Amino acid sequence: EALNLTTSCHMPDVGGEQIMLRIGVHSGPVVSTVVGNPQTNPRYCLFGDTVNIASRMESSSEPGRIQCSEHTAALLAVTELWNRVRKRPGRQEIKGKGLMKTHWVLSDVDLDVERLQKRFIDRLHPRSSHASMDFLTV
């Protein structure tokens, strides 16, 4: 939903450019606590490697995309979001973690583009409706 909202958000003070988000997701255990002065400046914080990997997923993602770890993709595979997960080709260099398999979680806009690309390929090659779309970038 956040990505879908950015398609209609523009920054007038920067020449009307569209806002582009990078989103990263990882799943796993975390530790939480409230830090700071509880009366004047309480802050809820999460700690752990899960938080660090989620941050790395975001920083190594692309504008307008949602990147998730292989672990999160496996968890999404058994939810209603299973049809939105696509393997990212190859392995990505994740700072502090090395090479990792990552996946894209498609937004509504990505799914619309993917459907259009599939229809285009089906019209070009009607007999091979299962033609690979690996060469197309969503």
Please give the positions annotated as active site.
Answer: 56, 95
Mapping DSSP onto H, E and C, the string for the chain reads: CHHHHHCCCEEHHHCCEECCCEEEECCCCCEEEEECCCCCCCEEEEECHHHHHHHHHHHCCCCCEEEEEHHHHHHHCCCCCHHHEEECCCCEEECCCEEECEEEECCHHHHHHHHHHHHHHHHHCCCCCCCCCCCCCC
